[in-house]
A and B are shown apart, each in its own frame.
Chain A
Amino acid sequence: MTMERQPTSTVTRPTSTAEAVRELAGGGARPRAGGTDLAACLEVGAVAPGPLVDLLDVPELRGPHWAEDGSVRIGAMTAVAELGADPRLAGAYPGLAAAARALATPQIRGTATVGGNLLQRNRCSYLRNPAFDCFQTGGDSCPARSGDHLRGVVVDQGPCVAPHPSSLAVALLAYDATVRVRHGSGTDSGAVADRDLSELYDGTDPTRDHVLSPEDLLVAVSLPASVPGERAAHLRAAGRSRAEWPLVEAVVRLECAEGGTGPVVRAAVAVGGVARTPLRLPGVERSLVGSLPGRGPGAVVLEALEGLTELCSPLPATGYKVPLLQATVQDAVERALDSPDR
């Protein structure tokens, strides 16, 4: 039994973001959200022990805040479960709700947070095994690249081969979300900056899974107003039926004319499990314009899916992810279109 005492010296519990940023200033301390991944990482030494700044008691970080223009800001400490359960959120952003309902397990979803999900560590077995050093733990190699990387990337962006694990990042990328960060250091100290979600990640940096410094605080994610006539689908390809990290996952959003029954006027397709960062697939998105709900994907879409081969640069053991990526996106497209064939 792992009745671990987490090797943690102190926990402080700020009640405002300003206080939290002060506590984090100077480095050394680490923010704690739901703590689910942090506890697991501390246990296996993927994260070094140290003082924690617990964000549970910061009310500003919680819940959705709707603006008059219909956009929403979701506090970073909002539980993952809320994305799937809140009727307004789920109605406005069905692809995000579906991704949130499919990830992890009910117990984890109730505790894990939006911010924690976006900033969690990757699932590489080498990172999470104390027997190995890698770029992420101060080493100078990627043992998975030369070793076992069956679940690794198929779009090889850099030295590390671990796919980004966040399902919410895939969905938020498809929704053109932005993230609000309160900087705790440097010239930006105290400044609040909004940036595209994709800027949280740098696939070529093998040393970390996101670009924020330990002094920065992810405050919220913002989504633009919902689109009338949106059809969305989320799909994860995995061996087990539930509670499994996906091999590949996809979120497809189709903005259709005539309140959802007309042809696609704009599409957003994002995928996970394939690269160090979640990816948008602009070629597939373009091909989907003009597709009709209630019909299968047309030849131009299938051609764009074929073209995903060009995007891929498989590792020795991840060649299967090329057809799996195509299949997953195709299935998600068919679900979003409500194709009669599937």
Chain B
Amino acid sequence: MHTSVNGAPSPAPDDPGLSAAEHLRDRLGLTGTKVACGSGACGACTILVDGAPTASCLLPADHLTGRSVTTVEGLDGVHPVQRALAAHDGLQCGYCTPGFAVEASVFVDAWRAEHGDSRPERGAIADALAGHLCRCGAYEGIFAAVAAACAGEFDTEPDQAPPRSDAPAKVTGSARFSADFAPHGAWEGVIVRSTVPHARVLKVSAGPGPDGSPAPLVDLLGEDRVVRYVGQPIAAVAAPTREAAKEFAKAVRVDLEPLPAVTDPGEARAPGAPVLYPTKEERAAAPAYGEAPTPPAPWNGNVRGPGVVSWRGPTAVSRLRAASRRKDPLLVAEEYTTATQVHSPLEPHVSVASWADGDLYLHVSTQSVSKIANKAAKRWDLPRERVHLVTEYVGGGFGAKNSLSADVVAAVELSRLVGHPVRVCLDRAEELTDAGHRPGTRTRVALLAGRDGSLRAMSVDSHGDGGVSVGSNAAVLAALMYGRSPRRTRDFDVVTNRPPGQPMRGPGGPPMAWALEQAVDTMALRLDEDPLSLRRRWDGNPKRQALYQRVADLPLWRDRPRGKRTGRFRRGVGLAAAGWPYLLAPEARVELVVEGGALVVRSATQDIGTGIRNVLGEVVADRLGVSAADLRVEIGQSSSVHGTGSFGSRTTTSMGPAAADAADRMRDALRELSPDVPAEGPVPEHVFKEALAAAEGVSVVGERGRDRWGQLTPNMDDLAVGRGMSGAVHVMEVEVDTLLGRVRPTRCWAGIAAGRIYSERLARNQCEGAVVQGVGYALFEERRDDPASGVVLSDNLEDYRIPGMGDVPETEVYFHEEGFEHVVGGGIGLGEVSVVGVAAALGNAVYDATGWRPHDLPLRPDRLIGALR
């Protein structure tokens, strides 16, 4: 019996142990089908079996025998919903997109057959796509796309190109992610991890390989030979198949001397607790989760800090103490906690490495092509040009994919050892355990208002719970809010034997806002004042002032319910303000080169879903006044000129101007050869074509120029702090089910002030996705650890829950585009500022609905029931 795959006969799967996904990807090369969670929760692997959507990661391959299978490749890119997803930008990184497209194609066809060409409600779409997760949070676009396809709007190819240039590759599954590049004959590497929370490793020895000699093994431990958490990489082994590599991994013997461990931050602070880093050298080597270098701070046992940032700090403290003594009603002192949030990009960390003639070839899922290539060259002592790193598409990152992580090191060293290409791909359990997280926090905030309602003093103390890592900055971010009244902020870290954090989208921001923005609302209540009007008085930031003005006129805010709400379902509206520093990458470069009569845009940057590939093409096309279709954008190759890492909200504001500069230089270069090219304004199409024909091989490199008045800091390893901060105001509406303890976000307005917006639809998509991630942070996301061992229990996407289509509010994004005229290009980043205040706005909305002030995240049903019943 055969199987029919995409209409063609295909040999029946014969390996009884294979999953259908594995058969399709590895045997048939149909890599459009993605595997992300491995447990049927995320839907990335969805295929049609006899027309029915099926999770192929759980389906035994032999169940395909005699059946008809359709993968995303079989939709041919012409299903209306594929066109609609591209046109409505219902995607970002694109890793989940094939699964969405396959499932939605069935829903759209069935809907139209039953209901004719009409638009389904959001609820019907959410039901149909309940088995799909998009970590980037492109749900607004997906809702719009599916509804439009149901209404028959995409039965033919639309006239306009989609807003995102690489959308067609993503909706058809032809976009190739790093794991899709394993060449035939590649071996699989598996990482051997610590099973104990704290130990000195005495010896690591490989078990026997197939011929009796030791299995190939590389050591991944640090120089101090100490493991400090369950899940820490110790070594890696490789074999021709992953199954065999896992057997080798099981056979690795690790001799160790157990050390006392502490996994609870409270216990870690107690006298006599085991100390993770007893020596100065060990403390200095502790991993850090800050985005910028972590400034020095004192240590006391397992507590690091305080890192203090003050403005008239002693005044603030004495005012707050006096207010506390006299029991001043205008002193708000509250404690807030947040849970550990895990990045969990749907594409896990994965590297494919091979060596040829002393050159290193790498495919890595990374947010920093240039930086990782530099680090690889240094680590393996190679001239930079002998490292060839390619990252065509990245399935999300959110800050977790910025380092020379264990998967890269293991793949490179194993490949050198075994003489084959080696792929190391984390499984979901590894990804959710040891690939980074936003640490939990405990934050105490105190605000004092004067009789006139002015802010008299502020103090914020925050303790970060980053496992073995340090880098708390939630408190210091509060120092940047609400004017210049006296204030003191102190950041502490409490280290425990649990996995390390990594910077995550707006590091420190969401926990800061969760505490500060709710405390500000509490103060408004004490002052008997509208929360918006209090912020308008306290907040000197002109960009947020502009957003506050919009909020005042917003029906969502203006017409919100007032007074005490009763009954089972209670509606409430809350808001929160946020700001974020403006970072830029002064070394950003973009090359334009004429090749084969075409203009090619190149840089060693990468697109993790933000849309920088599109921005580069658009900027160059706009600058030259030509069609973006006349350009080819090639990013993600380390051999290109230096590209910025995709983190710190700095990619677009750095790469965009470099692309514009390159376009100007190319215009000059073309004019020298073809005088018909105008000095400014659009280049007519025929002139452009002739100029390119005459300029074969011409290459220019554009740079990121300096802003007017310069930057606030010098260039620190391609990072500088610019002048001005981005701003955001979120307004969230919720409905609280007081009986079952559930919060349902219904509507959200996101006002973002980041100057001029590049690629508007893509920027909006990113801000919509930030709302989705903020809702996840507020309601669902929580890494759960075994209290005794620190083992991460929530190591799958059923126990670590991210929002689905049915969990997110209808979201409207507004851009205030003024205020960054001093910046080259006029606009700064928005990836981080757009996420900071979301959970806080939701918290304020829950208070508004119920009169109960939530202090601890996430807002689980058990917490609401405990408070409300």
Question: Which residue of the partner chain, among B52, B63, B780, B793, contacts A125 with CB atoms under 8 Å?
Answer: B793
Contact A242 B16 (CB under 8 A): no
Q: Does A257 contact B (CB under 8 A)?
A: no
Q: Does A193 contact B (CB under 8 A)?
A: no
Contact A148 B16 (CB under 8 A): no
- A39: B residues at CB distance < 8 A: 19, 57-60
- Which residues of chain B from 780 to 803 have any CB-CB distance to chain A below 8 Å in the complex? 780, 784-789, 791, 793-796, 798-799, 801, 803
Question: Which residue of the partner chain, among B43, B57, B243, B427, contacts A5 with CB atoms under 8 Å?
Answer: B243
Q: Which partner residue on chain B sits nearest A151 by CB separation? A: B799
In the complex, what's the smallest C-beta–C-beta distance from A302 to chain B, in angstroms?
Answer: 13
- B241: A residues at CB distance < 8 A: 5
Distance A7 CA – B794 CA, assembled complex (angstroms) = 24
Distance A4 CA – B245 CA, assembled complex (angstroms) = 11
Contact B19 A247 (CB under 8 A): no
- A242: B residues at CB distance < 8 A: 126-127, 130, 804-807
Question: Which residue of the partner chain, among A10, A106, A237, A239, contacts B801 with CB atoms under 8 Å?
Answer: A239
Distance A3 CA – B45 CA, assembled complex (angstroms) = 11
SS of B interface (majority): loop
Given contacts A1-B348, A239-B860, A320-B861, contact A107 B53 (CB under 8 A): yes
Contact B16 A237 (CB under 8 A): no
Contact A129 B795 (CB under 8 A): yes
Distance A1 CA – B127 CA, assembled complex (angstroms) = 27
Of A205-213, A218-226, A283-291, A327-335, which stretch is located at the interface?
Answer: A327-335
Contact B796 A148 (CB under 8 A): no
- Which residues of chain B from 556 to 585 have any CB-CB distance to chain A below 8 Å in the complex? 568
Contact A5 B796 (CB under 8 A): no
Distance A126 CA – B788 CA, assembled complex (angstroms) = 12
- A104: B residues at CB distance < 8 A: 40, 131
Contact B179 A1 (CB under 8 A): yes
- Which residues of chain A from 139 to 154 have any CB-CB distance to chain B below 8 Å in the complex? 143, 146-148, 150
- A132: B residues at CB distance < 8 A: 786, 791
Given contacts A10-B16, A242-B804, contact A327 B744 (CB under 8 A): no
Q: Does A245 contact B (CB under 8 A)?
A: yes
- Which residues of chain A from 216 to 270 have any CB-CB distance to chain B below 8 Å in the complex? 237-245, 247
- B784: A residues at CB distance < 8 A: 125, 148, 150
Contact B16 A8 (CB under 8 A): yes
Number of A-B contacts (CB under 8 A): 207
In the complex, what's the smallest C-beta–C-beta distance from B690 to chain A, in angstroms?
Answer: 48
In the complex, what's the smallest C-beta–C-beta distance from A322 to chain B, in angstroms?
Answer: 9
Distance A238 CA – B179 CA, assembled complex (angstroms) = 35
- A44: B residues at CB distance < 8 A: 429
Question: Which residue of the partner chain, among B16, B53, B132, B794, contacts A11 with CB atoms under 8 Å?
Answer: B16
Question: Which residue of the partner chain, among B40, B807, B862, contacts A105 with CB atoms under 8 Å?
Answer: B40
Q: Does A324 contact B (CB under 8 A)?
A: yes
Contact B35 A147 (CB under 8 A): no
Question: Which residue of the partner chain, among A107, A125, A150, A237, contacts B43 with CB atoms under 8 Å?
Answer: A107
Question: Which residue of the partner chain, among B22, B230, B865, contacts A4 with CB atoms under 8 Å?
Answer: B22
Encode contact with A along B152-167: 1 for CB under 8 Å, 0 otherwise: 0000000000000000
Q: Does B54 contact A (CB under 8 A)?
A: yes
Contact A40 B58 (CB under 8 A): yes
Distance A70 CA – B474 CA, assembled complex (angstroms) = 65
Contact A125 B794 (CB under 8 A): yes
Given contacts A35-B59, A237-B740, A239-B801, contact A106 B53 (CB under 8 A): yes
- A330: B residues at CB distance < 8 A: 739
Q: Does A111 contact B (CB under 8 A)?
A: yes
- A54: B residues at CB distance < 8 A: 60, 62-63
In the complex, what's the smallest C-beta–C-beta distance from B680 to chain A, in angstroms?
Answer: 49
In the complex, what's the smallest C-beta–C-beta distance from A24 to chain B, in angstroms?
Answer: 17
Q: Does B46 contact A (CB under 8 A)?
A: yes
- A321: B residues at CB distance < 8 A: 862
- B242: A residues at CB distance < 8 A: 3-5
Question: Which residue of the partner chain, among B55, B230, B798, contacts A245 with CB atoms under 8 Å?
Answer: B798
Contact B60 A243 (CB under 8 A): no
Contact B786 A6 (CB under 8 A): no
Q: Name which of A13, A110, A331 has the most chain B CB atoms within 10 A of its CB.
A: A110
In the complex, what's the smallest C-beta–C-beta distance from B709 to chain A, in angstroms?
Answer: 48
Distance A283 CA – B369 CA, assembled complex (angstroms) = 65
Q: Does B417 contact A (CB under 8 A)?
A: no
Q: Does A323 contact B (CB under 8 A)?
A: yes
Q: Does B221 contact A (CB under 8 A)?
A: no
Contact B804 A331 (CB under 8 A): no
Q: Does B198 contact A (CB under 8 A)?
A: no
- Which residues of chain B from 72 to 130 have any CB-CB distance to chain A below 8 Å in the complex? 103, 126-128, 130
Q: Does A312 contact B (CB under 8 A)?
A: no
- B59: A residues at CB distance < 8 A: 35-36, 39, 111
Distance A244 CA – B132 CA, assembled complex (angstroms) = 12
Distance A240 CA – B195 CA, assembled complex (angstroms) = 32
Q: Does B626 contact A (CB under 8 A)?
A: no
- B429: A residues at CB distance < 8 A: 44, 129
Q: Which partner residue on chain A sits nearest B15 by CB separation? A: A5
Contact B425 A3 (CB under 8 A): yes
Chain A interface residue number, banded: 35 or more
- A126: B residues at CB distance < 8 A: 786, 793
Q: Does A164 contact B (CB under 8 A)?
A: no
Q: Does B201 contact A (CB under 8 A)?
A: no
Q: Does A108 contact B (CB under 8 A)?
A: yes
Q: Does A121 contact B (CB under 8 A)?
A: no
In the complex, what's the smallest C-beta–C-beta distance from B399 to chain A, in angstroms?
Answer: 21
Given contacts A1-B179, A2-B57, contact A108 B788 (CB under 8 A): no
- A4: B residues at CB distance < 8 A: 19, 22, 38, 242-243, 427
In the complex, what's the smallest C-beta–C-beta distance from A283 to chain B, in angstroms?
Answer: 20
Contact B25 A3 (CB under 8 A): yes
Q: Name which of A56, A106, A126 has the most chain B CB atoms within 10 A of its CB.
A: A106
Q: Which partner residue on chain B sits nearest A342 by CB separation? A: B568
Contact A108 B131 (CB under 8 A): yes
Q: Does B720 contact A (CB under 8 A)?
A: no
Q: Does A43 contact B (CB under 8 A)?
A: yes
Q: Does B642 contact A (CB under 8 A)?
A: no
Contact B861 A237 (CB under 8 A): yes
Q: Does A183 contact B (CB under 8 A)?
A: no
Q: Does B742 contact A (CB under 8 A)?
A: yes
Encode contact with B along A7-35: 1 for CB under 8 Å, 0 otherwise: 11111010000000000000000001001
Q: Which partner residue on chain B sits nearest A105 by CB separation? A: B131
Q: Does A131 contact B (CB under 8 A)?
A: yes
Given contacts A35-B59, A129-B793, contact A7 B17 (CB under 8 A): yes
In the complex, what's the smallest C-beta–C-beta distance from A46 to chain B, in angstroms?
Answer: 12
In the complex, what's the smallest C-beta–C-beta distance from A121 to chain B, in angstroms?
Answer: 13
Q: Does A123 contact B (CB under 8 A)?
A: yes
23 pairs, A vs B, C-beta closer than 8 Å: A6-B60, A7-B17, A8-B16, A8-B17, A36-B58, A54-B63, A81-B52, A110-B53, A129-B429, A146-B788, A148-B787, A150-B784, A237-B742, A238-B742, A239-B742, A239-B779, A243-B41, A243-B804, A320-B741, A320-B865, A324-B741, A324-B862, A327-B865
Q: Which residues of A contact B (CB under 8 A)?
A: 1-11, 13, 32, 35-36, 39-40, 43-44, 52, 54, 56, 81, 104-108, 110-111, 123, 125-126, 128-129, 131-132, 143, 146-148, 150, 237-245, 247, 320-321, 323-324, 327-328, 330-331, 342
Knowing that A3-B25, A54-B63, A237-B741 touch, tell me 18 more A-B residue pairs with CB under 8 angstroms: A1-B350, A3-B19, A4-B242, A13-B62, A35-B60, A36-B55, A36-B58, A39-B59, A105-B40, A125-B794, A150-B862, A237-B742, A239-B780, A240-B779, A240-B803, A241-B126, A321-B862, A324-B862
Q: Which residues of B contact A (CB under 8 A)?
A: 15-19, 21-22, 25-26, 34-36, 38-41, 43, 46, 52-55, 57-60, 62-63, 103, 126-128, 130-132, 179, 195, 230, 241-243, 348, 350, 425-429, 568, 739-742, 744, 779-780, 784-789, 791, 793-796, 798-799, 801, 803-807, 858, 860-862, 865-866, 869
- What are the 10 closest A-B residue pairs judged by CB atoms, nearest first? A105-B131, A2-B38, A320-B862, A241-B806, A125-B793, A242-B130, A5-B243, A11-B16, A2-B427, A39-B58
